[in-house]
Structure 1
Amino acid sequence: MNMKALFLREQRVLSLEDTPEPEILTASDVIVQVTASSICGSDVHFWKGHFPSIPNFILGHEFVGVISDVGKDVRSFKVGDRVAVPAAPFCGICANCAVGKVYNCLAVQGMFGAGEIKGNLPGAQAHYVRVPHADACLAKIPDSVSDQEALLVGDVLSTGYFAVENGSPQPGDSIAVFGAGPVGLCAVACAQLFSPAQLFLIDIEDYRLEQGRILGATHLLNPKRVNVIKHIKSLTDGNGVDLTIDAVGLPQILNECITCTTPGGIMSVVGIGTPSLEFPMMKFMFKNLTMRGGYVPLIHMKRLLTLIQEKRLDVSSLITHTVKLNSIIEGYHLFANKEDNCIKVMVVP
């Protein structure tokens, strides 16, 4: 049987094509019928050539769906289960997974929809996906949680949670999030779980700042109109915030994070805007700052789904547009160009 899937072809061409449906390859596999996927900034980076890749692969790594087939060794899931899937699957038993370093799983070493350089796992912008090591990495979606509510759990919501948790915030701390893209906005939503006294959000797009206000940001700062550093310092007794989150990844933002973080504070970096940059080491050292970052460990999906189920966390409003799989290329242009105040695009069959 054939299905539709979005391929990245030579010359960075997006092509919606017929291709064979995936099959069970190992006993730990399941096949997931995709009920919703989304377009991520990483997908656009592959398309535009900002991230290295070898063309001719199916794109997409943010998705939820229903299990349509299971391998003989799968014990925790059955046909018909609704599941959220991590962008990068993991085995759960290798030396790295055993100590929580699932982002460096020795068995998988890859992510969906990134081609040969990242494990060659066909992506989720398709009707069906083969998911390896299902028992270890899948999370069941509670009946009361919709696909739209669960969709971002496997990537940007987990990344936003990681960005905040990595900063070890305490109740009453002050937090500044630089960048109101999907990851930054998810960080704002997750920061509420840690009861900050002040939560600054910085971005040049007012419509994204407004979304941040809805999610709980207490101070919205547009660098086009205000001096961000001066404003933050004036509201923190001149000290700066306890935690800065860089959800952009550009040299200027990293430098502003160093300036805005209180001496002895923490910087959490999850933005990947440039492969390398100059670092103001002296400024960083003299403030006794700590910087943490890295590839998100996708081990909090069940916790996040429980928080969503209990109405403690909801980022479904970030999905501003929905397109059919047959119109997904239009969705890419909509998302990449931020047309019609687009934040996230959900793709349905």
Structure 2
Amino acid sequence: MRALCWHGKGDIRCDTVPDPSIEDSRDIILKVSSCAICGSDLHLMDGQMPTMESGDVLGHEFMGEVVETGSAITGFRKGDRVVVPFNINCGSCRQCKLGNWASCTVSNRNGEMAAKQFGYPTAGLFGYSHLTGGYAGGQAEYVRVPMADVAPMKVPDGMTDEQALFLSDILPTGWQAAAYCDIKGGEIVAIWGAGPVGLFAIKSAAVMGAARIIAIETVPERIALARKAGATDIIDYANDDVMARIKEISNGEGADAVIDCVGMEASAGHGMFNLLSAVQEKLTSTQRPYALEQMIQAVRPSGIVSVPGVYGGPVPVNMAAVVQKGLTIRSGQTHVKRWLGDLTRLIQDGTIDPTFLITHRSSRLEDGPELYKTFRDKTDNCVKVVFHPGGTSLPQA
């Protein structure tokens, strides 16, 4: 089969690799009908995540049709359309039973490696380094889904691939980021980054009832989509003083909550934070914490800092500001399964249209290496890339 594979920093190729097969009674094999490039995949492309190996199959946003099931699978049968959360869940460990699906202590088959890095194992992830299990991803014609009796969801009748696909990751991630802000109605929420996760965080904050939603972004097409998603205010971080503008919008009180949707992908900004970014990149090469520092400064006392953005290693955090201001920091990989039911209903009733941010489509995985570069470099107005392998699920013109 054909698959997009990592071969080193900046080296993504479309290779011919062995077809997956059933390895455990709880497995299913999917014929991938749709998959996407995630911003987190760029961390792999740019060499910012450890333990990648040449030839690893990429991709953690995917869905498809069941073509084979293990003997223990009773909830799916051949021909079912299934969307798969990016994290793998055993369903039986204490964390899974608590609904902390991203903290599953069983599904990461390299759990000891993760524990050395983080203190304890974290869940296995598709297509995302051997630190998270080394599982082959779904930017491929076929994919093996382990522990498929727990997290994957049968796609409801009448829902298109493009409506369902982002339930695998970025829609629940944006939703969880907003949910972590404890929005009850009337709040001011500031969101750094209007990429795909940021756009869904904006939309989620709007659905939850935030009164002012501030998007901090500089790319024109992303600013346009941020407004479409529900942003009431835009701050161009390349030209504006972010702190001054947030104080102006909030009458000097600061944002009630802030959301970091850039993580270690943060770009140089305005004034002193530009200098801090340059110094930190010299020290760590990949970690760029100045945006996080800006958020900690911008949120009001007793406010919330929500961090869905990915970091690959230690970063300096201004704990003096965190403590003196009494801030709450909430972060983590997304507990996708926790949100699937609610978000599916919001798609079905038209409250959320997940397709609005798709800018690039292809029926050919062979286009993947070039589209990775287009997405990374934000050229050709690229915001989100979706593949429909074989062309069977391409939208009708």
Secondary structure of the residue aligned to 2:35 is: strand
Moved more, 101-110 or 58-67: 101-110
Q: Is the contact between residue 8 and residue 45 of structure 2 (CA under 8 Å) also seen in structure 1?
A: no
Matching residue of 2:175: 161
Deviation, 1:194, is 0.8
Moved more, 274-283 or 259-268: 274-283
Alignment pair present for 1:347 and 2:387: yes
Q: Is the contact between residue 149 and residue 316 of structure 1 (CA under 8 Å) also seen in structure 2?
A: yes
CA distance in 1, matches of 2:44, 2:178: 27
The answer for unaligned runs of 5 or more in structure 1 is none
Deviation, 1:63, is 0.6
Question: 1:204-283 maps to which residues of 2 (within 5 A)?
Answer: 204-249=218-263, 250-273=288-311, 275-283=313-321
- Superimposed CA distance per residue, residues 265-286 of structure 1 (whole angstroms, 9 cap, x where no aligned partner): 1110121256222222222222
RMSD of Structure 2 on Structure 1 (CA)? 1.6
Q: Is the contact between residue 255 and residue 299 of structure 2 (CA under 8 Å) also seen in structure 1?
A: yes
Alignment partner for residue 114 of structure 1, among 128, 132, 146?
Answer: 128
Deviation, 1:246, is 1.1
Higher strand content, 1 or 2: 1
Alignment pair present for 1:91 and 2:90: yes
Secondary structure of the residue aligned to 1:209 is: helix
- 1:278 to 1:342, Cα distance in 2 relative to 1, 3 A: same
- Superimposed CA distance per residue, residues 305-349 of structure 1 (whole angstroms, 9 cap, x where no aligned partner): 221111111231211001221211121111111111101100121
Q: Is the contact between residue 188 and residue 211 of structure 2 (CA under 8 Å) also seen in structure 1?
A: yes
Matching residue of 2:213: 199
Matching residue of 1:177: 191
- 1:255 to 1:14, Cα distance in 2 relative to 1, 3 A: closer
Alignment pair present for 1:57 and 2:56: yes
The answer for unaligned runs of 5 or more in structure 2 is 109-123, 264-287, 390-397
- 1:117 to 1:284, Cα distance in 2 relative to 1, 3 A: closer
Secondary structure of the residue aligned to 2:231 is: coil
Size of the alignment, in residue pairs? 347
CA distance in 2, matches of 1:170, 1:345: 33
Secondary structure of the residue aligned to 1:327 is: helix
Deviation, 1:145, is 1.8
Deviation, 1:182, is 1.3
Give the letter aligned to residue 58 of structure 1: V
- Superimposed CA distance per residue, residues 223-278 of structure 1 (whole angstroms, 9 cap, x where no aligned partner): 23332222221222211111110112242212221222121111101212562222
Matching residue of 1:8: 6
Alignment partner for residue 313 of structure 1, among 349, 352, 357?
Answer: 352
Alignment partner for residue 32 of structure 1, among 30, 33, 43?
Answer: 30
Q: Is the contact between residue 245 and residue 267 of structure 1 (CA under 8 Å) also seen in structure 2?
A: yes
CA distance in 1, matches of 2:255, 2:376: 32
- 1:116 to 1:284, Cα distance in 2 relative to 1, 3 A: closer
Deviation, 1:292, is 1.1
Moved more, 271-280 or 33-42: 271-280
Moved more, 185-194 or 273-282: 273-282
Moved more, 338-347 or 325-334: 325-334
- Superimposed CA distance per residue, residues 68-120 of structure 1 (whole angstroms, 9 cap, x where no aligned partner): 11112112211111111011111111222111122122221121112433212
Q: Is the contact between residue 178 and residue 204 of structure 2 (CA under 8 Å) also seen in structure 1?
A: yes
Identity of aligned residues (%): 36
CA distance in 1, matches of 2:209, 2:189: 10
Matching residue of 2:375: 335
Give the letter aligned to residue 8 of structure 1: W
CA distance in 1, matches of 2:252, 2:57: 50
CA distance in 2, matches of 1:303, 1:266: 23
Moved more, 30-39 or 225-234: 225-234
CA distance in 1, matches of 2:129, 2:293: 33
- 1:293 to 1:331, Cα distance in 2 relative to 1, 3 A: same
CA distance in 2, matches of 1:234, 1:318: 29
Matching residue of 1:44: 42
Give the letter aligned to residue 300 of structure 2: T
Q: Is the contact between residue 65 and residue 78 of structure 2 (CA under 8 Å) also seen in structure 1?
A: yes
Give the letter aligned to residue 171 of structure 2: L
CA distance in 1, matches of 2:312, 2:2: 33
Give the alignment's TM-score, normalised by structure 2.
Answer: 0.84
Q: Is the contact between residue 114 and residue 123 of structure 1 (CA under 8 Å) also seen in structure 2?
A: yes
Secondary structure of the residue aligned to 1:192 is: helix
